[in-house]
Structures are given as C-alpha cells and as structure tokens.
Amino acid sequence: MPDITLFANQMAVVSRTEPNKNWSGLDTLEIKTGNSQSYDDPPDKMAYLSFDTSNIPAGAVVSKYVVRFYAQLTVDTTNDQYIEFEVDPQDRSFVQSAITYNTRPAQTQKGSSYGFFQTNVPSGYVWYEVVFDGEMAAGEYLKALQNSYRIQVSLEYGRNTTAVAQIKAPLSQQGPQAVITYSPPVVHVSPGFTDGLYIPKNLAKSISWSVGYDSSDHMIGTPKQVSAEVRCKSGGTTKTIRVDGGATTATIPAGTFTEGTGQIQIAITTTAGGMAESDWITVNNTDETGTAIAVSPRGVRVDGDTNQVFAWDYDSPTGTPQTKAELQVSYDGGGKWQALVTAQGDVRQTTVSAGTLEAGAAAWRVRCFNSDGNPGEYSAAAYIIVVKKPLPPSYVTTNAKPRLSVEWASVNQQGYQVQVMSTGQLLFDSGTVFGLVKQLTLPEFLADGDFTAQVRVIDKQGLWSEWVSIDGSVQNVPAEPISASTVKRRFGVSVEWTTEGEYRAFYLLRDGIPVGKAGAEAREWTDWAANGKHWYTVRGVKDDGYYTDSNAVVGITSVPYGAICQWGDFSNWMVLKLHEGGPFVHSEKRSAGMEYVQYAGRALPVAYETGWKTVSHTVEYTVRKKAEWEALKALEGQTVLYKDYRGTRVVGTLESVEAEHTKRINFSLTIQETDVQERIAYD
C-alpha cells in the first residue's frame, strides 16, 4: 500500500491556567503537565495542530496513519515516572493566531498515545510517533485529519512532578507530520447499456457509464474518475478511445466497428489510483432498414412547369438517420416505374426540377437507405395529376407560296392553332382545331409580301404550348393571262373567260370573295345569288400553288318584279308580279339581341348586348292561281333566296306564309335571315 506524508500547516499552544492566552508563530512551542495531584488532572499547556490534506487522493482507503512530532522532553523528578504523549481528535479546525483555552475545539473521543518510562526518556530532540490503526484509522479519528488534533503530555504519577516538551512547530524544518498508509477504493463501472445495443458502423454513437464504489469508514473523500478508456473490439482489432477527466460519456467514431457485432469494455482510473474495468458488452453493429412514407404531393394537381418539392418521412427501428433516398415515378398507374430523383444524406424532401414530370396522371414512391447503405422497401404510391404545358412544336415550316401550307412536328398533341400575320395584322386564325394533323393549308391565297406564321399545340389536359413562329415571304408567279367578261342573264349574271393557259381549276370571286368554282375546261359560270352591281374576277389556280387573276369586270343582276326560289335550286324561280291595290309591300324588322338583368336596389334593369341579332323581312304579293299558292306553301320552312327590282336580296328561312283568299290570293311571306355562307374554300 502506498504512503503519503502530510505536513502540519497550523500549530498553537493554549494554557489552562492562562485561558485567554495564545502561543503561536514560533519555531518551538512548549507543552507541559500541571503540578497535578492525580493522573486525571488536565495538563497545564497543550498544543493544537492541523494538517494540509490537499494531497490526499479523494477516495483513499486508510489502513493506518502516524502522527509524528519532533520534540525534546524534560521531567523534574528522579522517580521512574510513566510518561505519555496523547494525540486526540478534535471536532473542528481552528485559527492558529486566535485559538485560546476558552475557544479551543472539543475532543470527539479519546485518541491514541505513545508512552514510556522516565528512564527511557531520550536526550535532546527526537521524533515521537503516535500510531492510529484498526478502528482508530476510521470514522471520527479519520475526520480529524481534516479538522485538528490536540497533543498533550501527561504523567502517570504526576504529583509534584512536571514534564515539559519542546515541540518543533510548522515554521521549523522538523514540524509535525502525518504519514498516511492507504489503498485504492473498490470501484465499479456500470455501462449505461446492455448486450444487444445497436451501434452503427458508419455513424458516430454516444455511450455513457456510471461509477460506483464500496463505501468505508476508512475512506477519505469520494473517489472520482480521472480518466477512462472505452475499448472497442471488432473483427479481431481493439480500438481505444481515451476520455480525460470525469466525463462519463464518449463518442464512438464512425468506422470503429466493421463487422456485424462487436464488444465494448469501459475502464476507469480514479483519484486514489487503481483501475476498474467493466465486463465486456456485446453490441450489434448491423443496421435495420426503416419504413419510408410518401408525404407530399399526394392527391393534388402539381404544376410540371415549375420546381416541385417532394417530401417523405422515414421511420428507423434503430433510430439512425437515412443516408440516401431514391424517388421513382410511374405514368401507367404503377405498372412501370422509372427513376425520378435521388437525395443524398439525412433529408426529408428534395426538389424535382421544372419540366421533369410528364403531363397527366402520375404516381410516385420513395425508398430510404439505412446507415449501412442498404435500401428499405419502397413506400406505398402517392398519386398526383401533373399539369404542364405541352412541349412546343419542335419545328415549323411553310411552302412560302400564295396558298400557304404550314407544317410542324409535335408530341402529345390533341389539337392545334395556326395564325398568319403580316405587318402586325392578323391575316388568318384557325382557332382551336382538335386532332393529330400536323399540317394546314390556308383556305385563302396570301397577297405578295412578308408574313409570320406561328403554331401552338394543345394537349389532353387542355393546356397550350408556347407559340413557335417562322418568318417568310410570298411572291406569286402568275401564268398565262385570263380575260373575263360578263353576260346578263334572267335572275343572274354569267362570267365568261378565255385563256391559253392550262389551270387546275377556276374560282369566281365576287367583290373579292370566292363564291364559285369551275373545272379546268370550263369557261363560264353563272352567279344566281347576286342582285345588283358587283365586281367579278376569275382566278386560275395551278398545281404548283401559284395563281393568275383575270381582269376585274362588272356584272349587274336585275329582276323585273320580285322573285323567290329555294336556296341552291336556282333553276326554279317563282316570279311575283302582282300586289292588289298598288306596289308590293316590303317591311323589315331588326332586333339587337339584348339581355336585361334586374339588380336589387335598382328599379330598372341593366341591359347587356349578347352579340346575337335577328333580322326578318315581310313581303306582300298577290297570286291568281292556286298552283302558284301551293308552290309558295311548299317553300315554307326552307332556306330561300328572295330578290326584287328594288335591289333587295334576302337569304334565310321562310318562317311563315299568311294569305287572304278572295278571287285572288293576297299573301305575306316572312323570311328570317340566317347565316348562309356563300364563301367557298379553295381546294
């Protein structure tokens, strides 16, 4: 067992006969017996001393200690007296310069002593030792090391006899000492975990332990940890993690364990010396895979043209974070999956870049990788609708001819829109045309000059792509000239023409609008629908897409009375000549198509124009023959064409026929104008 020597740091003498006096701060202090009448009488002077215990290790288990002092003893008798030095434990410390007999500490119990006969008194200064062992090295005796002791000298038969001891004080080089014999305490290390603890191979892990000890009355202070070692066994290799000081936690670095299982032992060193070791604890180093949960988006529409944040959750049975997450997407309800995005590290969301997702119904799922890099199962699928503009046409091209043809290439097209412009003016707009066709020929010929054609497509979600445009220029190349003239016909006008060229077809333009078509060999066409003066042009069209216009000619259609026929059956005209009582009557009624809405607090309605109009005409005539009347009734409900010598021209439905039957039949016809399109399309 090791020994440690303590040195006195305070020493003072007090006197029973001079109870308020203090002797201290001297190199040598004197104690002595009184001129006692019995052995039990207290001495006249006694010394109190204390020791510097700062270098006693906390938790030292003391088996023995010896109080030593350097003294010179004199006795004024020749009788063979038995002399004792007594060292008694006191209940508290003191202040060297202030202690007196009246303020001295109290004795806790009788201490130990060292005695000898007068004949054995050494001459001069010698070391006297008082031993405390066994029970005297514990309890209150031991506490006195941190409090104080009293030293006194006594005689067994002290009547009329005095013993005086000169004791070297702490100021001298031979001041009192205490020699401590001790051993380390019995210390126990208890890991804060048991067999089977999971410690990741690839992640740092914090562990803890606690320190206990066997208590003893022989122990000074409480033992404390001064250092620790965490010993980790894995795959035949032991790695040691050192912890300095009293910390009872340590972090096991990532990579410490390399196999499926390993062992840990904790060893500590205490303030009183010695080392305590725990048992080896078996730990699990194989991570389990966790459960991934697709959180959002779920059951919503997402904009595929913007960045989208996908979030998930991860439940690890071992509490370790994920190291990676893989997301997949399916566009066929989960039949076929493809990679969407991979997120590294312990994250719970990632961004899918704009344009990545395909438009339409989609499903997505996620799986997470544990700390060993092993993937878990994919989560249940979350379903979304991706709303996304379709890709614009990859290219647009034209033939750059007067009968302009526009072609494009696109994907996911369900319809299209084509526009043609020139100098900021919209020349043509197809509107929305549904279908997979990727080519359109304009219904009209373009005039010479620059143009811009643009195309966009619509997908199955009704979303439009961006426009894609192309600039071009049209320059018509006329062929052989065409010479036109007009011939007046009853109820119509004929346009005749001559040419030396060979044309695929001829189109008849009335006031610039194509209203008729003739074959390649034809040289005449009659316009039965016109009334009054109009300008006519014959347009010859070649197979190469170019055209030739004839000279513009005037054609005049006139009727001597009124006339009516079924629209399209221009060979069967009914002439309306008579009106009893004077000229025929023609009245016209127009309606703007207004809608009126009543609002609370307003007496009169608010008018809104619907954009719809109605125009009806009523004409009154007289016929003499029943057959004529029957022919008129047959037209009821049919689309008819009415013309008269005043220049009136009405196309619409014969809505009603009213008659007054006398010798003659006086009748009125009401015709509701309808939107009958005379313009024809070019082939």
Residue type, 509: L
| 3-state SS track over 509-552 | EECCEEEEEECCCCCEEEECCCCEEEEEEEEEECCCCCEEECCC
Confidence of residue 531 (pLDDT cuts 50, 70, 90): very high
Mean pLDDT for 98-117 is 87
Lowest pLDDT segment from 73-77, 93-97, 104-108, 392-396: 73-77
- The stretch 333-340 carries a mean pLDDT of 95
Q: Which has the minimum average pLDDT: 155-159, 265-269, 503-507?
A: 155-159
Count Cβ atoms below 10 Å from residue 604 Cβ, excluding itself.
8
pLDDT range class, residue 419, cuts 50, 70, 90: very high
CB contact set of 173 (below 8 Å; sequence gap of 6+): none
pLDDT digits (tens, 9 = 90+) for 3-16: 999 999 999 999 99
Cβ pair 110, 102 in contact under 8 A = no
pLDDT for 313 beyond 90 = yes
Provide the 3-class DSSP secondary structure of residue 144: helix
For the chain, give the mean pLDDT.
Answer: 91
CB 6 within 8 A of CB 54: no
Contact 485, 521 (CB under 8 A): no
Cα–Cα separations (whole angstroms), residue 226 to 57, 61, 211, 271, 624 = 11, 17, 11, 6, 136
Check pLDDT > 50 for residue 614.
yes
- Percent share of the chain, pLDDT over 70: 97
Distances 324 to 200, 204, 255, 289, 371 between C-alpha atoms, Å: 16, 17, 18, 12, 9
For position 55, what pLDDT does the model report?
A: 87
Cβ atoms < 10 Å from Cβ of 124: 6
Instruction: Indicate if the pLDDT at residue 158 is higher than 60.
Output: no
Give the mean pLDDT of 275-279: 91
pLDDT tens figures, 137-152: 888 888 888 899 999 9
Please name each of the domains of the chain with its CATH number: 3-183 (2.60.120), 187-284 (2.60.40.10), 291-387 (2.60.40.10), 395-474 (2.60.40.10), 482-557 (2.60.40.10), 562-673 (2.40.30)
Q: Report the pLDDT averaged over residues 155-183.
A: 82
Return all residues near 625 (Cβ < 8 A) that are at least 6 apart: none
What does R_g of the chain's alpha carbons equal in angstroms? 62
Res. 1 pLDDT band, cuts 50 70 90? low
How much is the pLDDT for 593? 87
Q: Residue 463: is its pLDDT beyond 70? A: yes
- Exposed e or buried b for every residue in 205-239, given b needs 16+ CB within 10 A? bebebebebeeeebbbeebbbbebbbbbbbeeeee
Residue 80: predicted pLDDT? 67
- Provide the percentage of residues in the chain whose pLDDT is more than 90: 72
Note the pTM of the prediction, 2 decimals. 0.54
Q: How far apart are CA 362 and CA 158, in angstroms?
A: 113
Q: Which two tokens stand for residue 277?
A: 């070791």
- Dihedral over alpha carbons 459, 463, 466, 469 (to 10 degrees): 60
The predicted pLDDT at position 185 comes to 87
Specify the pLDDT at position 171: 79
Query: 316-325, pLDDT tens digit by residue?
Result: 998 889 999 9
DSSP letters for 186-210? -EEEEESS-TTEE--SSS-EEEEEE
Q: Does residue 249 carry a pLDDT above 60?
A: yes
DSSP 8-state assignment for residue 464: B
Q: Say if residue 354's pLDDT is above 90.
A: yes
pLDDT score for 460: 86
Distance between CA atoms of 494 and 498, rounded to whole angstroms?
14
> Residue 407 pLDDT > 70, yes or no?
yes
Given a contact cutoff of 8 angstroms between Cβ atoms, the answer to whether 402 and 474 are in contact is yes
Report whether pLDDT(307) > 70: yes
pLDDT at 77 over 70: no
Judge whether residue 370 has pLDDT over 70. yes
Encode pLDDT of 186-201 as tens digits.
899 999 999 989 898 8
- The Cα–Cα gap between 220 and 138 comes to 9
CB-based contact 670:640 (threshold 8 Å)? no
- Which of the residue ranges 62-71, 80-89, 630-639 would you say has the lowest mean pLDDT? 80-89
Per-residue pLDDT, 570: 93
- Provide the pairing of β-strand 60-75 with 125-133: antiparallel
CA angle in degrees (0–180, nearest 5) for 232-234-239: 40
Average pLDDT, integer, range 590-606: 93
Instruction: Please report the pLDDT score of residue 35 as a whole number.
Output: 59
| pLDDT confidence bin for 37, thresholds 50/70/90 | very low
- Indicate if the pLDDT at residue 38 is higher than 80: no
Cβ proximity of 245 and 157 under 8 Å: no
For residue 603, give both structure tokens: 């007496």
3-class state of residue 304 by DSSP: coil
Of the candidates 512, 532, 516, the one whose C-alpha atom is nearest the C-alpha of residue 524 is 516
Query: Does 159 have pLDDT greater than 80?
Result: no
